[in-house]
Homo-oligomer: A and B are copies of this chain.
Amino acid sequence: MAEKEFVSAQEVARRAGVSRSAVSRTFTPGASVSAETRRKVMAAAEELGYHVNHLARGLMRNESGIVCLIASEVATPYRSALVSAITQKLQDHSKIAMLVNTDRSDGSADKALRQAISYRADASIILSGLPDKSIVQLCLRNGQRLVLINRDDDQEGPLRINFDNDEAARRILTAFLRAGCRRLAFANSASMTPSLLARERGFLAAGQAEGIEVIVERYGQTAYASGRTLAQRLLTRKDRPDGVFCATDLLACGFMDAARNQFSLSIPDQLCVAGFDNIEQAGWESYDLTTFDQPVDQIAQQAVEWLSAPLSAPAASPTVTLHAELVWRSSIRGG
């Protein structure tokens, strides 16, 4: 095996008949190189297939260009949409995403964050799981920036991007009431994710404000199958609800399928359903689900912009609260 090594700036310099520094400068935006030198260097580089070694560059500049994405359930519609949007935005800012899958590691973003430190990632974006406070401090102490998405937390330091779950809950409750629903329920997973709990609390509170008692059911993971089980549980009750707010679209899809096929309920005539996330499937004709749109592009934009901003950002931990727009579809009467 030839095992030809990577081409180094040294070799390019030799080939071009200039010094190593000339090569370095050629590939450093804004450095002073004469047109002639640059031409010679570029020619030699092209010929040899030279690419700046970002590892070595990161070592020197103390800035790797790497951003670590920490997430579980990457194959989920909403999560994958978010990952896709963020990776794109990062690339637009000439950064690169390192994806750490925390599906199997027992609940620790911690291990992932240590990975991020090891690779000297400039920043980490956490989409799932809550890291230990000490690890967060460690990251910050090391000059790493942190973004927490959809994890309502009191940590100091990281940027937090959240949604106005309370307001959404109030809005959807109003919609259910306008549709003439009398018995409302909230269908949640048992995962106890901060944002899902916020939606639950918000919906309950909104109900209370109207003098309505909301039934709450929690089960399993935040997935289609759990939605079906939740339907089994809620729709066999004596006081069967006629308006159900599901914590996510995925739950809602499962819920709707079970409601229609196992309970022969017509949606929205006999049962109104709403979800959250506005995943692609919510727009599919079989569901046509009324839901809240989580604008992944906005999230990505906010996160990456903050990461690219100069360090002079205020020491206080900023919080961005985004608005989730209600997307009206046919799973709720009226409209």
- A interface residues (Cβ-Cβ under 8 A, vs B): 1-7, 49, 51-56, 58-59, 62, 64, 66, 69, 73-77, 79-81, 83-84, 87-88, 91, 96-101, 103-104, 114-115, 117-120, 138, 141-143, 224, 228, 253-254, 257-258, 261, 280-281, 284-287, 311-312, 315
A316 to chain B, nearest CB (A): 13
Q: How far is it, in angstroms, between the C-alpha of A7 and the C-alpha of B139 when the chains are bound?
A: 11
Contact in complex: A142, B84 (CB < 8 Å): no
- Known contacts A142-B4, A224-B284, A284-B224; A55 and B58 CB within 8 A of each other: yes
Query: Which residues of the other chain, B, contact A311 by a CB distance below 8 angstroms?
Result: 1, 3
Query: Which residues of the other chain, B, contact A52 by a CB distance below 8 angstroms?
Result: 118
Contact in complex: A119, B80 (CB < 8 Å): no
Q: How far is it, in angstroms, between the C-alpha of A120 and the C-alpha of B74 when the chains are bound?
A: 25
Q: How far is it, in angstroms, between the C-alpha of A257 and the C-alpha of B51 when the chains are bound?
A: 49
A122 to chain B, nearest CB (A): 12
Q: How far is it, in angstroms, between the C-alpha of A315 and the C-alpha of B2 when the chains are bound?
A: 10
Q: How far is it, in angstroms, between the C-alpha of A51 and the C-alpha of B119 when the chains are bound?
A: 9
Question: Can you name the residue of chain B whose Cβ is closest to the Cβ of A52?
Answer: B118
- Known contacts A6-B120, A284-B253; A115 and B143 CB within 8 A of each other: no
Contact in complex: A98, B97 (CB < 8 Å): yes
Q: How many copies does the complex hold?
A: 2
Contact in complex: A83, B56 (CB < 8 Å): no
Contact in complex: B281, A258 (CB < 8 Å): no
A177 to chain B, nearest CB (A): 28
A–B pairs, 20, beta carbons within 8 Å = A1-B311, A5-B62, A5-B142, A5-B143, A6-B120, A51-B114, A53-B59, A54-B119, A55-B64, A55-B120, A66-B119, A77-B80, A87-B99, A87-B101, A91-B100, A97-B99, A97-B101, A224-B280, A224-B284, A286-B287
Query: Which residues of the other chain, B, contact A138 by a CB distance below 8 angstroms?
Result: 49
Select which of B59, B87, B254, B315 is within 8 A of A55 by beta carbon. Answer: B59
- Known contacts A5-B62, A55-B120, A74-B84; A98 and B100 CB within 8 A of each other: no
Contact in complex: B54, A118 (CB < 8 Å): yes
Query: Which residues of the other chain, B, contact A315 by a CB distance below 8 angstroms?
Result: 1
A222 to chain B, nearest CB (A): 13
Contact in complex: A100, B96 (CB < 8 Å): yes
Contact in complex: A96, B119 (CB < 8 Å): yes
Contact in complex: B88, A104 (CB < 8 Å): yes
Question: Can you name the residue of chain B whose Cβ is closest to the Cβ of A139?
Answer: B49
Contact in complex: B143, A6 (CB < 8 Å): yes
Question: Can you name the residue of chain B whose Cβ is closest to the Cβ of A281?
Answer: B281
A6 to chain B, nearest CB (A): 5
Q: How far is it, in angstroms, between the C-alpha of A154 and the C-alpha of B281 when the chains are bound?
A: 37
